[in-house]
Amino acid sequence: MAAENVLIDARALAALAPDEVLVVDCRFALADPGQGKRAFLDAHVPHAVYASLDQDLSDLSKRGLGRHPLPDVDAFARTLARWGWHRGQRIVAYDAAGGALAAARLWWMLGSVGIAASVLDGGWQAWSASGLPVEAGATLPTPSAITDLRFDSCRVVYVDTFDRLRRQPATLVLDARAAARFRGESEPIDRAAGHVPGARNRPFSQNLAPDDHFKPASVLRQEFTALLGPHAAADVVHMCGSGVTACHNLLAMEAAGLPDSRLFAPSWSGWVSDPSRPVATGD
């Protein structure tokens, strides 16, 4: 997808006909997994369906792959069919966290199976502030036929490949967690504090302006180009706590015209699931 199309503003979304677009509400709170669904039932973008990070965008039965393992592609295809998606229909995802929980995750998953998708810039807050119509209650879409999807394995790496890549000077690992967690000063969720040796920190919050819209593409490009230095975008492997907010940096780079970086899906929670793996602290 063209870089300018990975983000869409509220009024542009409102102008699309319902059959042109499938809108997916991805609001989620890590501390209260049911909060997003309750918020959806209270009010949502008209015709939107709800996606739970835990139930629809992850497979929590998988062990050793972090807190939010990616679902198998067949399971994802069944989810899309349950939502009523059909080939050729655009998908727009939104949340209430600037895209981080978990609209960017869905955007990345869709791109990994060749489905064009966008994230609503500014999220639910932008839609609400625009005075656009909302709906309440459950959405009951008509299920569609299950589409045979193919996952692009070049977009993701797991522990063995990641461990090899991170040792190579050509690879740049970017960690999207907050600076205090990266430095090991605080770790409220995972087994150990710190970061993968050699990684650099790019908190996903730095992609956003104070109003929770993404910074202009030119600003994002300048910031990421300075961070990458001699590295190409394809040399970058993104990570975070569980492979969710890392997708925000992937989205920001795509919006900046810097595609083709990869995701370390297990991320920090998967890395530290084995106590023998090395951990660094500080900057």
Beta bridge partners of 263: 156, 238
What SS3 state is found at 283? Answer: coil
**pLDDT value of residue 212:** 95
> Tens digits of per-residue pLDDT, 182-207?
999 999 999 999 999 999 999 999 99
Say whether pLDDT at 3 is over 80: no
% of residues, the chain, pLDDT over 90: 98
With vertex at residue 177, the alpha carbon angle to CA 200 and CA 272, rounded to the nearest 5 degrees, is 85
Residue 245 forms part of a structural domain: yes
- Identify whether 22 is part of a domain: yes
Total domains in the fold of the chain: 2
User: Do 117 and 161 have their domain in common?
Assistant: no
In this structure, the answer to whether residues 119 and 18 fall within a common structural domain is: yes
266 SS3 class? coil
In the residue annotation, 240 being an active-site residue is answered as: yes
For residues 120 and 183, state if they share a domain. Answer: no
Cis ω before 3 (30° cut-off from 0): no
For residue 193, what pLDDT is reported? 98
181 plus 115 within the same structural domain: no
158 and 257 housed in the same domain = yes
Residue among 26, 154, 240, 247 flagged as catalytic: 240
Q: Taking 70 as the threshold, does the pLDDT of residue 256 lie above it?
A: yes
pLDDT attached to residue 1? 39
254 is a domain residue: yes
Is the domain of 7 the same as that of 122? Answer: yes
Residue 141 lies in a domain: no
Q: Which two tokens stand for residue 12?
A: 């542009």
Which residue range is the domain that position 225 belongs to? 153-271
What is the predicted pLDDT for the residue at 124?
98
Decide if 147 is inside a domain: no
pTM of the model: 0.97
In a domain, 71, yes or no: yes
| C-alpha dihedral, 152 to 47 to 5 to 200, nearest 10° | -60
Whether 25 and 112 map to the same domain: the answer is: yes
Q: Are residues 160 and 123 in the same domain?
A: no
Q: Are 39 and 105 within one domain?
A: yes
User: Tokens at residue 217, please?
Assistant: 């593409």
- CA count, 13 A, side-chain hemisphere, 81: 12
pLDDT tens for residues 28-70? 999 999 999 999 999 999 999 999 999 999 999 999 999 999 9
Query: Which residues, 6+ apart, have CB-to-CB distance to 103 below 8 Å?
Result: 24, 26, 93, 94, 95, 119, 120, 123
Cβ–Cβ < 8 Å for 255, 249: no
Domain endpoint, select from 129, 164, 199: 129
Q: How far apart are CA 194 and CA 100, in angstroms?
A: 21
The fraction of the chain above a pLDDT of 70, given in percent, is: 99
Interatomic CA distance for residues 244 and 242, integer angstroms: 6
Residues 18, 125, single domain; the answer is: yes
Question: What's the rounded mean pLDDT across residues 249-277?
Answer: 98
With beta carbons less than 8 A apart as the criterion, state whether 200 and 236 touch: no
Same domain, 99 and 158: no
Query: Counting Cβ atoms within 10 Å, is residue 47 exposed (0-12), middle (13-18) or buried (19+)?
Result: middle
In a domain, 214, yes or no: yes
Asked whether the predicted pLDDT for residue 2 surpasses 50, the reply is no
- At 207, give phi and psi (nearest 5°): -80, -10
Half-sphere exposure of 113 (CA within 13 A, CB side): 20
pLDDT tens by residue, 97-152: 999 999 999 999 999 999 999 999 999 999 999 999 999 999 999 999 999 999 99
Residue 29's CATH number: 3.40.250.10
Q: Answer yes or no: do 24 and 113 share one domain.
A: yes
